[in-house]
A and B are shown apart, each in its own frame.
Chain A
Amino acid sequence: MRDTVTTPALPLGDDALILSHRLGEWAGQAPVLEEEVALANIALDLLGQARVLLSLAGDEDELAYLREEREFRNLQLVEQPNGDFAHTIARQLYFSTYQELLFEQLADGDTELAPLAGKAVKEVAYHRDHATQWTLRLGDGTDESRTRMQHALDALWRFTGEMFEPVPGLESLPWATFHDVWTTRITATVEQATLRLPEGPQRGAWTAGAGRQGLHTEPFGRLLAEMQHLHRSHPGATW
Protein backbone atom coordinates (compact mmCIF):
# COMPACT_ATOMS: atom_id res chain seq x y z
CA MET A 1 0.00 0.00 0.00
CA ARG A 2 2.63 2.49 1.04
CA ASP A 3 4.77 1.42 -1.90
CA THR A 4 2.36 3.34 -4.08
CA VAL A 5 3.45 6.67 -2.59
CA THR A 6 5.29 8.43 -5.39
CA THR A 7 5.15 12.11 -4.47
CA PRO A 8 8.56 13.78 -4.13
CA ALA A 9 7.32 15.00 -0.76
CA LEU A 10 8.20 11.55 0.60
CA PRO A 11 11.98 11.49 -0.04
CA LEU A 12 12.35 15.14 0.94
CA GLY A 13 10.24 14.56 4.06
CA ASP A 14 12.36 11.54 4.94
CA ASP A 15 15.55 13.63 4.64
CA ALA A 16 14.14 16.16 7.10
CA LEU A 17 12.76 13.55 9.50
CA ILE A 18 15.90 11.46 9.73
CA LEU A 19 18.30 14.39 10.03
CA SER A 20 16.03 15.89 12.69
CA HIS A 21 16.25 12.66 14.66
CA ARG A 22 20.03 12.54 14.35
CA LEU A 23 20.39 16.14 15.55
CA GLY A 24 18.03 15.41 18.43
CA GLU A 25 20.52 12.79 19.62
CA TRP A 26 22.81 15.66 20.61
CA ALA A 27 20.43 16.67 23.41
CA GLY A 28 22.40 16.41 26.62
CA GLN A 29 25.66 15.72 24.75
CA ALA A 30 26.67 18.88 22.89
CA PRO A 31 30.03 20.50 23.71
CA VAL A 32 28.49 23.72 25.00
CA LEU A 33 25.01 24.73 26.07
CA GLU A 34 24.58 27.17 23.19
CA GLU A 35 25.22 24.39 20.69
CA GLU A 36 22.85 22.09 22.51
CA VAL A 37 20.15 24.67 21.96
CA ALA A 38 21.21 25.46 18.39
CA LEU A 39 21.18 21.84 17.24
CA ALA A 40 17.83 21.22 18.93
CA ASN A 41 16.39 24.28 17.19
CA ILE A 42 17.65 23.12 13.80
CA ALA A 43 16.18 19.68 14.54
CA LEU A 44 12.86 21.34 15.33
CA ASP A 45 12.86 23.25 12.03
CA LEU A 46 13.53 19.99 10.20
CA LEU A 47 10.79 18.19 12.11
CA GLY A 48 8.38 20.93 11.08
CA GLN A 49 9.39 20.41 7.44
CA ALA A 50 9.00 16.65 7.82
CA ARG A 51 5.50 16.95 9.24
CA VAL A 52 4.30 19.11 6.35
CA LEU A 53 6.01 16.99 3.69
CA LEU A 54 4.94 13.60 5.05
CA SER A 55 1.39 14.90 5.43
CA LEU A 56 1.45 15.61 1.69
CA ALA A 57 2.46 11.98 1.14
CA GLY A 58 -0.01 10.38 3.55
CA ASP A 59 -0.52 10.00 7.28
CA GLU A 60 2.54 11.54 8.93
CA ASP A 61 2.60 9.22 11.95
CA GLU A 62 2.06 6.09 9.92
CA LEU A 63 4.80 7.08 7.49
CA ALA A 64 7.27 8.01 10.22
CA TYR A 65 6.67 5.20 12.65
CA LEU A 66 5.32 2.20 10.75
CA ARG A 67 7.46 1.93 7.64
CA GLU A 68 10.26 -0.59 7.38
CA GLU A 69 13.81 0.40 6.59
CA ARG A 70 13.59 -0.22 2.85
CA GLU A 71 10.51 1.97 2.54
CA PHE A 72 12.43 5.08 3.59
CA ARG A 73 13.71 7.26 0.75
CA ASN A 74 16.11 9.59 2.57
CA LEU A 75 19.67 10.23 1.48
CA GLN A 76 22.25 8.03 3.15
CA LEU A 77 24.07 11.21 4.18
CA VAL A 78 21.42 12.26 6.70
CA GLU A 79 21.31 8.87 8.45
CA GLN A 80 25.06 8.83 9.15
CA PRO A 81 25.85 8.80 12.87
CA ASN A 82 26.65 12.11 14.53
CA GLY A 83 30.30 11.19 15.12
CA ASP A 84 32.21 13.98 16.80
CA PHE A 85 31.03 17.59 16.58
CA ALA A 86 33.02 18.14 13.39
CA HIS A 87 31.22 15.23 11.69
CA THR A 88 27.87 16.73 12.59
CA ILE A 89 28.96 20.11 11.25
CA ALA A 90 30.27 18.59 8.01
CA ARG A 91 26.98 16.74 7.52
CA GLN A 92 25.12 20.00 8.19
CA LEU A 93 27.29 21.95 5.78
CA TYR A 94 26.83 19.44 2.95
CA PHE A 95 23.12 18.93 3.49
CA SER A 96 21.94 22.47 4.30
CA THR A 97 23.81 23.89 1.29
CA TYR A 98 22.02 21.31 -0.87
CA GLN A 99 18.63 21.81 0.75
CA GLU A 100 18.81 25.57 0.38
CA LEU A 101 19.47 25.24 -3.37
CA LEU A 102 16.68 22.72 -3.78
CA PHE A 103 14.12 24.70 -1.77
CA GLU A 104 14.99 27.99 -3.51
CA GLN A 105 14.12 26.31 -6.78
CA LEU A 106 10.98 24.60 -5.47
CA ALA A 107 9.76 27.85 -3.89
CA ASP A 108 9.72 29.46 -7.33
CA GLY A 109 7.85 26.55 -8.88
CA ASP A 110 4.20 25.62 -8.85
CA THR A 111 4.31 22.14 -7.33
CA GLU A 112 2.54 21.23 -4.10
CA LEU A 113 5.94 21.61 -2.44
CA ALA A 114 6.20 25.35 -3.18
CA PRO A 115 4.53 26.73 -0.01
CA LEU A 116 6.69 24.60 2.30
CA ALA A 117 9.83 25.31 0.31
CA GLY A 118 9.18 29.07 0.38
CA LYS A 119 8.69 28.94 4.12
CA ALA A 120 11.54 26.58 4.98
CA VAL A 121 14.21 28.09 2.74
CA LYS A 122 14.46 31.09 5.05
CA GLU A 123 15.07 28.79 8.01
CA VAL A 124 17.54 26.64 6.09
CA ALA A 125 19.57 29.76 5.31
CA TYR A 126 20.23 30.00 9.05
CA HIS A 127 21.17 26.31 9.21
CA ARG A 128 23.65 26.79 6.38
CA ASP A 129 25.05 29.90 8.03
CA HIS A 130 25.46 28.02 11.32
CA ALA A 131 27.34 25.17 9.63
CA THR A 132 29.48 27.57 7.58
CA GLN A 133 30.56 29.60 10.61
CA TRP A 134 31.50 26.44 12.53
CA THR A 135 33.43 25.06 9.56
CA LEU A 136 35.45 28.27 9.44
CA ARG A 137 36.02 28.26 13.19
CA LEU A 138 37.07 24.61 13.41
CA GLY A 139 39.06 24.59 10.17
CA ASP A 140 40.95 27.78 10.89
CA GLY A 141 41.28 26.87 14.58
CA THR A 142 43.64 24.64 16.53
CA ASP A 143 45.62 21.76 15.04
CA GLU A 144 43.19 19.37 16.68
CA SER A 145 40.01 21.07 15.44
CA ARG A 146 41.49 21.50 11.98
CA THR A 147 42.45 17.81 11.75
CA ARG A 148 39.04 16.69 12.90
CA MET A 149 37.16 19.03 10.56
CA GLN A 150 39.17 17.84 7.58
CA HIS A 151 38.65 14.23 8.57
CA ALA A 152 34.90 14.79 8.85
CA LEU A 153 34.68 16.46 5.42
CA ASP A 154 36.66 13.57 3.91
CA ALA A 155 34.65 10.85 5.64
CA LEU A 156 31.26 12.12 4.49
CA TRP A 157 32.32 13.12 0.97
CA ARG A 158 31.32 9.81 -0.60
CA PHE A 159 27.75 10.38 0.56
CA THR A 160 27.39 13.68 -1.31
CA GLY A 161 27.03 12.42 -4.88
CA GLU A 162 23.62 10.95 -4.17
CA MET A 163 22.19 14.40 -3.47
CA PHE A 164 22.34 15.29 -7.14
CA GLU A 165 20.58 12.24 -8.50
CA PRO A 166 17.20 13.58 -9.66
CA VAL A 167 14.43 12.93 -7.13
CA PRO A 168 11.61 10.95 -8.77
CA GLY A 169 8.89 13.42 -9.69
CA LEU A 170 11.34 16.34 -9.78
CA GLU A 171 13.35 15.31 -12.84
CA SER A 172 12.79 18.69 -14.48
CA LEU A 173 14.80 20.58 -11.84
CA PRO A 174 18.32 21.67 -12.86
CA TRP A 175 20.22 18.95 -11.00
CA ALA A 176 23.51 19.48 -12.82
CA THR A 177 23.37 23.17 -11.92
CA PHE A 178 22.64 22.28 -8.29
CA HIS A 179 25.80 20.19 -8.28
CA ASP A 180 27.89 23.00 -9.80
CA VAL A 181 26.60 25.69 -7.45
CA TRP A 182 26.86 23.39 -4.45
CA THR A 183 30.48 22.56 -5.32
CA THR A 184 31.30 26.25 -5.76
CA ARG A 185 29.81 27.18 -2.40
CA ILE A 186 31.37 24.27 -0.51
CA THR A 187 34.75 24.97 -2.11
CA ALA A 188 34.61 28.63 -1.07
CA THR A 189 33.81 27.77 2.55
CA VAL A 190 36.37 24.98 2.74
CA GLU A 191 39.12 27.15 1.29
CA GLN A 192 38.27 30.06 3.56
CA ALA A 193 38.52 27.59 6.46
CA THR A 194 42.07 26.76 5.25
CA LEU A 195 40.92 23.20 4.57
CA ARG A 196 41.02 21.28 1.31
CA LEU A 197 38.12 19.91 -0.70
CA PRO A 198 38.03 16.09 -0.43
CA GLU A 199 39.50 14.40 -3.48
CA GLY A 200 37.67 11.07 -3.66
CA PRO A 201 34.76 10.37 -5.98
CA GLN A 202 31.29 11.57 -5.04
CA ARG A 203 29.69 8.70 -6.88
CA GLY A 204 30.78 5.41 -8.36
CA ALA A 205 31.45 1.86 -7.31
CA TRP A 206 32.98 2.81 -3.99
CA THR A 207 30.57 5.51 -3.01
CA ALA A 208 27.21 5.46 -1.29
CA GLY A 209 24.06 6.41 -3.04
CA ALA A 210 21.00 4.25 -2.97
CA GLY A 211 19.04 5.83 -0.14
CA ARG A 212 16.51 7.21 -2.60
CA GLN A 213 15.89 3.63 -3.74
CA GLY A 214 15.40 2.40 -0.19
CA LEU A 215 18.84 0.92 0.45
CA HIS A 216 20.37 2.20 3.64
CA THR A 217 23.57 1.91 5.63
CA GLU A 218 24.01 -0.27 8.67
CA PRO A 219 23.44 2.42 11.35
CA PHE A 220 20.00 3.28 9.93
CA GLY A 221 18.32 0.21 11.39
CA ARG A 222 19.33 1.18 14.91
CA LEU A 223 18.13 4.74 14.32
CA LEU A 224 14.71 3.45 13.25
CA ALA A 225 14.54 1.06 16.19
CA GLU A 226 14.97 3.94 18.58
CA MET A 227 12.74 6.37 16.67
CA GLN A 228 9.88 3.93 16.17
CA HIS A 229 9.85 1.78 19.26
CA LEU A 230 7.50 3.89 21.38
CA HIS A 231 4.85 4.16 18.69
CA ARG A 232 5.13 0.48 17.82
CA SER A 233 5.07 -0.63 21.47
CA HIS A 234 2.11 1.58 22.34
CA PRO A 235 0.06 2.12 19.17
CA GLY A 236 -2.05 5.25 19.33
CA ALA A 237 -0.50 6.43 22.59
CA THR A 238 -1.12 10.09 23.42
CA TRP A 239 -0.10 12.38 26.24
Chain B
Amino acid sequence: MVTTGDTTATRADAPTSAGRPTTAGTALEAELLALAGSVPDPELPVLTLAELGVLRDLRLTAPDRVEVELTPTYTGCPAIEAMSADIERILHDHGIPDVEVRTVLSPPWTTDAITAEGRRKLEDFGIAPPRPAGPAGGPISVDLTIRCPHCGSTDTTLLSRFSSTACKALRRCESCREPFDHFKEL
Protein backbone atom coordinates (compact mmCIF):
# COMPACT_ATOMS: atom_id res chain seq x y z
CA MET B 1 0.00 0.00 0.00
CA VAL B 2 1.40 3.33 -0.99
CA THR B 3 1.02 6.38 1.17
CA THR B 4 1.99 9.90 0.30
CA GLY B 5 4.93 9.53 2.64
CA ASP B 6 6.37 6.62 0.70
CA THR B 7 8.88 8.24 -1.57
CA THR B 8 11.36 5.41 -1.70
CA ALA B 9 11.47 5.54 -5.49
CA THR B 10 14.08 8.14 -6.15
CA ARG B 11 15.59 9.38 -9.35
CA ALA B 12 18.30 6.81 -8.90
CA ASP B 13 15.64 4.20 -9.59
CA ALA B 14 14.54 5.88 -12.78
CA PRO B 15 15.09 3.82 -15.91
CA THR B 16 18.42 4.75 -17.34
CA SER B 17 19.53 1.45 -18.79
CA ALA B 18 17.55 2.07 -21.99
CA GLY B 19 19.13 5.46 -22.36
CA ARG B 20 15.89 7.26 -21.70
CA PRO B 21 16.10 8.68 -18.20
CA THR B 22 13.01 10.29 -16.83
CA THR B 23 13.54 13.96 -16.52
CA ALA B 24 12.91 16.22 -13.61
CA GLY B 25 13.68 19.89 -13.58
CA THR B 26 12.99 21.49 -10.26
CA ALA B 27 13.25 19.97 -6.82
CA LEU B 28 9.45 19.92 -6.60
CA GLU B 29 9.20 18.14 -9.93
CA ALA B 30 11.75 15.60 -8.72
CA GLU B 31 9.73 15.08 -5.56
CA LEU B 32 6.49 14.63 -7.49
CA LEU B 33 8.17 12.32 -9.98
CA ALA B 34 9.42 10.16 -7.12
CA LEU B 35 5.92 10.16 -5.70
CA ALA B 36 4.33 9.11 -8.98
CA GLY B 37 7.09 6.56 -9.44
CA SER B 38 6.28 4.99 -6.08
CA VAL B 39 2.84 3.89 -7.32
CA PRO B 40 2.74 0.07 -7.51
CA ASP B 41 2.05 -1.59 -10.85
CA PRO B 42 -1.60 -2.73 -10.77
CA GLU B 43 -0.82 -6.19 -12.16
CA LEU B 44 2.63 -6.74 -10.63
CA PRO B 45 2.29 -4.89 -7.34
CA VAL B 46 5.80 -5.92 -6.23
CA LEU B 47 7.10 -3.40 -8.76
CA THR B 48 6.70 0.34 -8.70
CA LEU B 49 6.12 2.30 -11.88
CA ALA B 50 9.64 3.72 -11.55
CA GLU B 51 11.13 0.23 -11.33
CA LEU B 52 9.06 -0.87 -14.32
CA GLY B 53 10.41 2.10 -16.26
CA VAL B 54 7.09 3.34 -17.63
CA LEU B 55 7.21 6.91 -16.27
CA ARG B 56 8.70 9.12 -18.94
CA ASP B 57 8.33 12.67 -17.72
CA LEU B 58 6.69 14.94 -15.19
CA ARG B 59 6.39 18.69 -15.60
CA LEU B 60 4.84 21.46 -13.57
CA THR B 61 3.18 23.61 -16.20
CA ALA B 62 1.53 25.90 -13.67
CA PRO B 63 1.75 26.15 -9.89
CA ASP B 64 -1.18 23.77 -9.49
CA ARG B 65 -0.92 21.77 -12.69
CA VAL B 66 1.21 18.75 -13.52
CA GLU B 67 1.61 16.86 -16.79
CA VAL B 68 2.84 13.29 -16.61
CA GLU B 69 3.99 11.12 -19.51
CA LEU B 70 3.41 7.40 -19.17
CA THR B 71 4.29 4.68 -21.68
CA PRO B 72 2.52 1.32 -21.85
CA THR B 73 4.47 -1.92 -21.62
CA TYR B 74 2.25 -3.43 -24.34
CA THR B 75 0.03 -1.46 -26.72
CA GLY B 76 -3.08 -3.13 -25.38
CA CYS B 77 -2.04 -3.15 -21.73
CA PRO B 78 -5.29 -2.71 -19.79
CA ALA B 79 -3.37 -1.62 -16.67
CA ILE B 80 -2.55 1.76 -18.18
CA GLU B 81 -5.87 3.26 -17.08
CA ALA B 82 -5.43 2.05 -13.51
CA MET B 83 -1.87 3.43 -13.52
CA SER B 84 -3.12 6.82 -14.70
CA ALA B 85 -5.83 6.91 -12.05
CA ASP B 86 -3.36 5.93 -9.32
CA ILE B 87 -0.89 8.63 -10.39
CA GLU B 88 -3.66 11.25 -10.44
CA ARG B 89 -4.82 10.20 -6.99
CA ILE B 90 -1.40 10.26 -5.35
CA LEU B 91 -0.61 13.68 -6.84
CA HIS B 92 -4.02 15.03 -5.85
CA ASP B 93 -3.36 13.83 -2.32
CA HIS B 94 -0.07 15.71 -2.44
CA GLY B 95 -1.87 18.97 -3.20
CA ILE B 96 -1.79 19.10 -7.00
CA PRO B 97 -5.39 19.63 -8.11
CA ASP B 98 -4.82 19.49 -11.85
CA VAL B 99 -3.07 16.35 -13.11
CA GLU B 100 -2.98 15.23 -16.71
CA VAL B 101 -1.50 11.83 -17.51
CA ARG B 102 -0.70 11.37 -21.18
CA THR B 103 0.17 8.08 -22.84
CA VAL B 104 3.17 8.17 -25.16
CA LEU B 105 4.26 5.34 -27.45
CA SER B 106 7.57 6.59 -28.75
CA PRO B 107 10.24 5.55 -28.11
CA PRO B 108 8.68 2.17 -27.40
CA TRP B 109 9.06 0.71 -23.92
CA THR B 110 11.54 -2.13 -23.63
CA THR B 111 12.15 -4.62 -20.84
CA ASP B 112 15.64 -3.09 -20.66
CA ALA B 113 13.92 -0.16 -18.90
CA ILE B 114 13.18 -2.34 -15.84
CA THR B 115 15.65 -1.34 -13.14
CA ALA B 116 18.08 -3.72 -11.44
CA GLU B 117 16.02 -3.45 -8.26
CA GLY B 118 12.90 -4.23 -10.28
CA ARG B 119 14.51 -7.37 -11.68
CA ARG B 120 15.52 -8.52 -8.21
CA LYS B 121 11.96 -8.01 -6.93
CA LEU B 122 10.49 -9.93 -9.87
CA GLU B 123 12.71 -12.90 -9.13
CA ASP B 124 11.84 -12.77 -5.42
CA PHE B 125 8.18 -12.74 -6.47
CA GLY B 126 8.65 -15.95 -8.49
CA ILE B 127 8.86 -14.39 -11.95
CA ALA B 128 12.02 -14.91 -13.98
CA PRO B 129 13.18 -11.44 -15.03
CA PRO B 130 13.71 -10.57 -18.70
CA ARG B 131 17.12 -11.05 -20.25
CA PRO B 132 18.68 -8.04 -21.98
CA ALA B 133 16.56 -7.33 -25.06
CA GLY B 134 19.15 -5.32 -26.90
CA PRO B 135 18.23 -3.58 -30.14
CA ALA B 136 14.77 -4.16 -31.59
CA GLY B 137 14.45 -7.18 -33.79
CA GLY B 138 11.91 -9.52 -32.32
CA PRO B 139 12.08 -12.34 -29.84
CA ILE B 140 15.56 -13.38 -28.89
CA SER B 141 16.57 -16.98 -29.03
CA VAL B 142 14.85 -19.20 -26.48
CA ASP B 143 18.11 -21.09 -26.20
CA LEU B 144 19.56 -18.45 -23.89
CA THR B 145 19.35 -19.61 -20.31
CA ILE B 146 16.42 -18.63 -18.14
CA ARG B 147 16.82 -19.52 -14.49
CA CYS B 148 14.03 -20.99 -12.37
CA PRO B 149 13.12 -18.30 -9.80
CA HIS B 150 12.30 -21.00 -7.25
CA CYS B 151 15.37 -23.25 -7.21
CA GLY B 152 17.81 -21.42 -9.49
CA SER B 153 18.17 -24.27 -11.96
CA THR B 154 18.92 -23.33 -15.55
CA ASP B 155 17.18 -26.47 -16.83
CA THR B 156 13.85 -24.90 -17.79
CA THR B 157 11.42 -25.48 -20.67
CA LEU B 158 9.03 -23.18 -22.50
CA LEU B 159 5.39 -24.27 -22.07
CA SER B 160 3.63 -21.36 -23.75
CA ARG B 161 4.75 -18.10 -25.33
CA PHE B 162 1.90 -16.23 -23.66
CA SER B 163 1.03 -16.58 -20.00
CA SER B 164 -1.22 -14.80 -17.50
CA THR B 165 -0.50 -11.51 -19.24
CA ALA B 166 0.87 -10.67 -22.68
CA CYS B 167 4.19 -9.63 -21.14
CA LYS B 168 4.92 -13.08 -19.68
CA ALA B 169 5.65 -16.56 -20.99
CA LEU B 170 4.92 -19.77 -19.10
CA ARG B 171 7.85 -22.07 -18.35
CA ARG B 172 8.53 -25.16 -16.26
CA CYS B 173 11.61 -26.00 -14.24
CA GLU B 174 12.88 -29.49 -15.07
CA SER B 175 14.74 -29.68 -11.73
CA CYS B 176 12.08 -28.73 -9.18
CA ARG B 177 9.18 -29.33 -11.62
CA GLU B 178 7.50 -26.04 -10.69
CA PRO B 179 5.89 -23.95 -13.42
CA PHE B 180 6.78 -20.27 -13.40
CA ASP B 181 6.24 -17.07 -15.35
CA HIS B 182 9.03 -15.46 -17.33
CA PHE B 183 8.87 -11.77 -18.12
CA LYS B 184 9.44 -11.84 -21.89
CA GLU B 185 12.05 -9.66 -23.49
CA LEU B 186 10.48 -6.85 -25.49
Contacts and interface: CB of A to CB of B under 8 A. Distances in A.
Contacts of A41: 162, 165-166
Contact of B166 (A45, A51, A118): A45
B139 A123 contact: no
B106 interface: yes
Contacts of B164: 37
Contact residues of B: prevailing secondary structure: loop
B170 A34 contact: yes
B107 A118 contact: yes
A2 to B, nearest CB: 24
Interface stretch (A63-71, A125-133, A212-220): A125-133
A129 B76 contact: no
Contact residues of A: prevailing secondary structure: helix
A49 B184 CA distance: 19
Contact of B138 (A35, A42, A125): A125
A121 interface: yes
A38 interface: yes
A119 interface: yes
A198 interface: no
Contacts of B160: 34-35, 37-38
Interface in A39-78: 41-42, 44-49, 51-52
Given A44-B74, A45-B76, 17 more contacts: A34-B160, A37-B163, A44-B166, A46-B76, A49-B75, A115-B106, A115-B108, A118-B106, A118-B107, A119-B75, A119-B105, A119-B108, A120-B75, A122-B110, A122-B186, A123-B74, A126-B162
A51 B105 CA distance: 13
Interface residues on B, range: 20 to 34
A32 to B, nearest CB: 9
Contact of B74 (A35, A45, A125): A45
B166 A52 contact: no
Contacts of B161: 38, 126, 129-130, 133
Interface residues of A, number: 30
B77 A48 contact: yes
B138 to A, nearest CB: 3
Contacts of A123: 74-75, 166, 186
Contacts of A119: 72, 75, 105-106, 108-109
Contacts of B62: none
Interface in B125-165: 136-139, 159-165
A155 to B, nearest CB: 25
Contacts, number: 82
A58 B162 CA distance: 32
State the 3 A-B residue pairs at the shortest beta-carbon distance, nearest first: A48-B76, A125-B138, A48-B75
A167 to B, nearest CB: 19
A238 B17 CA distance: 40
Nearest to A120: B75
B97 interface: no
A33 to B, nearest CB: 9
A35 B72 CA distance: 24
A189 B59 CA distance: 49
A38 B162 contact: yes
A223 interface: no
A35 B76 CA distance: 19
Contacts of A136: none
A114 interface: yes
Contacts of A197: none
A118 B161 CA distance: 21
Contacts of B137: 125
